[in-house]
Amino acid sequence: MNGRSDREWQLEEIDLMTGMVEEDEFEYKDEDGIISGKITCVFDQEVDDVYLVGKNPEFEERIIKYPPVYVHFVLPSRYPSEEGPLIRIEASWMPVKLKKVIEDQIEQDCISPNGSFLLFGFRMVVQDSMDDFFEKNHRFDVEETFGVFEEHQNPQIFRRKIVEMANDTDMRIFKKKGAECEICASYKKGEEFVRFPGCQHIFCRDCFKMHFEHKIDSQELNGLTCIGCRNEPTEEFLASILSEEYFERYKSLQVDLAVHKGDLSICPRPACQNPAKITNRAKRLAECSNCGMCFCISCKRAYHAIEPCKFRKDEKENVMKEWEESSHEQRLIMSKRYGGLKQLQNLVEMFQNSNWFEENSKPCPKCRVPIEKIEGCHKMHCTKCDCYFCWLCGKVLDKENPYGHFNVSGGECEGRLFEGVVPLEDFEEDEEEFQFVFDDFLDDEDDDDDVPVEGMYGPDYLRYWDEFPSEDDSVALKLTDGQDRESQFV
């Protein structure tokens, strides 16, 4: 060793490796006088007629290029004068027999080093050993391999792993060279390029970064794909390209999009506010994976199963006011609190219907069904329970004489059967005349007591009978042109 100590020899050999091998292909550490490290062997040339096979005839994949092989080493303190290096081969795809061949060959070279540096020669030993092995063994059983393929029986998984390792080799080789980006047409070092997972398109990092940032700025997550195709990126890939700020914006937009689609809701607990998955849309059930709360996506209260949602009046008013005063963008933000835009629209519609019923209907005093009064007098009939009641006071009326309620002397509804329909100041409040008019209107057409409508009310009030016809469909009012306008019943 020309008078050099073991330590000097080791340091010189490490310096040689550092200067002659790519930075990402050699790494080492020096602790307590013991040097250890890893050599990555990458092979550029293509391989001829080499296949990995399995029990299934379809379980076969050709090796286009050797995947990387890793040589782990430890240099003992008395290397190389008295001891050889400790070697371990790592290659999950490699047959056990081949690993044994390489390790035996390295051990043989270490016995008689002939005053040469060994570490640099390991790469050549691995290359030559693989060439010799595959020249004699064009096919080898996958079950003889270590690592990721040891338990896999799915051919698709097997192929994917092989392709991933081959692509890793290609990318390592590509990064050592330079190329022109197809997007920006700039010539850059290989290390400035990245490969899109899945489709394997390669473009420069800057172009990918600008493309993704533009889509995030414009909130076009559907367009957040590979520049060369429609493949979607993984979160890991995006995190490796985007700044921390843009990646957080991307994740926030993802949540917004999921909420907008109705896939997620926001946990109503003030201390949580995390996205919660809607586990059953029909039952309006959402469950927060952060705090575990199960809640109704409509009312945001603890889940209440088939029980109807309960909203306070001020809650309804606040939701309606916020909805009416918000722009489209603001409504999208608002919808995140209610399980998405569609869910919020349904809620607003429900509130609108509820408000309308409160303002334009009254509950039946017997069955409580809301009833709307469109036209006619204040005697109401519930078709569900066959109850007659007064629209003004809500009292149940006698079925045999429902109109008698409006003739009770001193009653609060006396003479108010048509209140609001016929102006009160012009309505004759005399009980006898009112009863006569009502009875006459329902009389037979041959009744001699029939009198002209104009004679009873005057010409200004004839139109009210047209607008509010009798409940009896067999009775209709017809006005004829002539010297005198009078009522005819047909």
Q: Do 410 and 397 touch, CB atoms closer than 8 A?
A: no
Q: What is the pLDDT of residue 463?
A: 43
CA 326 to the chain's CA centroid? 23
- Quote the CA–CA distance of 298 and 308 in Å, as a whole number: 10
Decide which of 270 and 445 is more confident: 270
Sheet containing 139-141: which strands, arranged edge to edge?
Answer: 60-62, 51-53, 139-141
Most confident of 67-71, 220-224, 387-391, 429-433: 387-391
Q: Percent of the chain, pLDDT > 70?
A: 70
Q: b or e along 263-302 (b: 16 or more beta carbons within 10 Å of the residue's beta carbon)? A: ebbbbbeeeeeebbebeeeeebbbbbeeeebebbbbbbee
Q: Do 284 and 298 touch, CB atoms closer than 8 A?
A: yes
- For domain 257-360, the CATH architecture is Single Sheet (2.20)
Q: What is the pLDDT of residue 104?
A: 86
Stretch(es) of the chain classified as CATH 2.20.25.20: 257-360
β-partners of residue 35 are 30, 75
Q: Percent of the chain, pLDDT > 90?
A: 14
Q: What is the pLDDT of residue 149?
A: 42
Q: What is the pLDDT of residue 52?
A: 64
Q: What is the pLDDT of residue 242?
A: 93
Decide which of 222 and 60 is more confident: 222
Q: What is the pLDDT of residue 34?
A: 92
Please check the confidence at residue 35 and state whether its pLDDT lies above 90: yes
Stretch(es) of the chain classified as CATH 3.30.40.10: 177-242
Q: What is the pLDDT of residue 476?
A: 33
Decide which of 426 and 49 is more confident: 49
Helices 244-261 and 328-335: crossing angle in degrees, nearest 10, is 90
- Quote the CA–CA distance of 69 and 178 in Å, as a whole number: 24
pLDDT tens-digit map of 397-408: 998 999 999 999
Handedness of CA 258, 259, 264, 267 (dihedral sign): positive
Confidence of residue 244 (pLDDT cuts 50, 70, 90): very high
Round to the nearest angstrom and report the end-to-end CA distance of the chain.
Answer: 133
Q: What is the pLDDT of residue 362?
A: 85
- Quote the CA–CA distance of 474 and 490 in Å, as a whole number: 7
Please check the confidence at residue 156 and state whether its pLDDT lies above 90: no
Q: What is the pLDDT of residue 173?
A: 66
What average pLDDT does this structure show over 433-440? Answer: 46
Most confident of 30-44, 305-319, 426-440: 30-44
Confidence of residue 350 (pLDDT cuts 50, 70, 90): confident
* Three-state SS letters, 42-64: CCCCECCCCEEECCCCCCEEECC
Please check the confidence at residue 441 and state whether its pLDDT lies above 80: no
What average pLDDT does this structure show over 270-296? Answer: 82
Give the homologous superfamily in CATH for domain 6-169.
Ubiquitin Conjugating Enzyme (3.10.110.10)
Task: Look up residue 222 and give its amino acid.
Answer: N
Most confident of 153-157, 375-379, 480-484: 375-379
H or E segment to which residue 35 belongs: strand 34-41
Handedness of CA 393, 394, 395, 397 (dihedral sign): positive
Confidence of residue 420 (pLDDT cuts 50, 70, 90): confident
Q: Based on the number of CB atoms within 10 Å of its own CB, is 143 exposed (0-12), middle (13-18) or buried (19 or more)? A: middle
Please check the confidence at residue 166 and state whether its pLDDT lies above 50: yes
pLDDT tens-digit map of 454-475: 444 444 444 444 444 444 433 3
Q: Do 119 and 39 touch, CB atoms closer than 8 A?
A: yes
Please check the confidence at residue 483 and state whether its pLDDT lies above 80: no
CATH number belonging to the domain at 177-242, selected among 3.30.40.10, 2.40.10.10, 3.40.50.11930, 3.30.70.270 = 3.30.40.10
- Quote the CA–CA distance of 391 and 50 in Å, as a whole number: 92
